[in-house]
Chain A
Amino acid sequence: GDSVTQMEGPVTLSEEAFLTINCTYTATGYPSLFWYVQYPGEGLQLLLKATKADDKGSNKGFEATYRKETTSFHLEKGSVQVSDSAVYFCALRWGYAGGTSYGKLTFGQGTILTVHP
């Protein structure tokens, strides 16, 4: 079945360091790919997305490129801030469910990021 694998965490960085969180997926065809972020005590917020191969999603300095050949969607940021401390989830979504709505999200296990001043 479909699955998403994230790099084992947690990740601890100093402010202004470079961030990479690896994400690979197993699926047939061309799912849409997402990164969601979860701050303490809050719900999941969409960070960025890509819906086809070679698309690059970007938001708030974060970037990820949909690589079909390596089935990957790695998250990167050139200079992290303390406020980026959160849990990051990679997720995939197929198209239609029941012929009408778009389908469920399948999440990776999440990566805890802690950024120190």
Chain B
Amino acid sequence: AAGVIQSPRHLIKEKRETATLKCYPIPRHDTVYWYQQGPGQDPQFLISFYEKMQSDKGSIPDRFSAQQFSDYHSELNMSSLELGDSALYFCASSYWTSGAAKNIQYFGAGTRLSVL
């Protein structure tokens, strides 16, 4: 079965550079979530999109922006990178339907960003 695809898997950047992370949801999924997982920490919610509109926002820095495109893939843009941005970034997707039990988030393998 198709899964959530994230690219790139690994990314190395210098401080103050920019980075773009991409997420391709499971086909027919209409909702995308982004999470940030620092070393040894739990994933923290950044932002989500439903039908190409932002649906929720968490602790996402102003230096970060994201959007969901017409084909439902999403991109997380990160500017003025800082050392503290080094983390594993997960994308998850789900398909909205009535019933809480059916709205499950499926995660990609993540993009590991290292800021030097």
Q: Are the C-beta atoms of A98 and B50 separated by less than 8 Å?
A: yes
Give the number of residues in B that approach A within 8 Å (Cβ atoms): 32
Which residue on chain B has the smallest CB distance to residue A55?
B101
**Besides A101-B30, A103-B48, A110-B42, 16 new A-B residue pairs in contact (Cβ under 8 A), listed by A number:** A43-B107, A43-B110, A49-B104, A89-B42, A89-B43, A97-B48, A100-B51, A100-B55, A101-B31, A101-B50, A102-B103, A104-B58, A105-B43, A105-B92, A105-B105, A107-B43
**CA gap between A95 and B103 in the complex, in Å:** 10
Q: Which residues of chain B from 89 to 107 have any CB-CB distance to chain A below 8 Å in the complex?
A: 90, 92, 94, 96, 100-101, 103-107
Which residue on chain B has the smallest CB distance to residue A89?
B42
Q: In the complex, which residues of chain A have a beta carbon less than 8 angstroms from the beta carbon of B35?
A: 105
Q: Are the C-beta atoms of A51 and B108 separated by less than 8 Å?
A: no
Q: In the complex, which residues of chain A have a beta carbon less than 8 angstroms from the beta carbon of B94?
A: 101-102
19 interchain pairs, CB-CB under 8 A? A43-B4, A43-B110, A44-B107, A46-B106, A97-B50, A98-B54, A100-B55, A100-B96, A102-B31, A103-B56, A104-B33, A104-B45, A105-B45, A105-B92, A105-B105, A107-B43, A107-B44, A109-B41, A109-B42
The size bracket of the interface on A is: 20 to 34
Which residue on chain B has the smallest CB distance to residue A95?
B100
The 7 residue pairs across chains A and B that have the minimum distance between CB atoms:
A101-B50, A98-B55, A97-B56, A104-B45, A107-B42, A102-B103, A44-B107
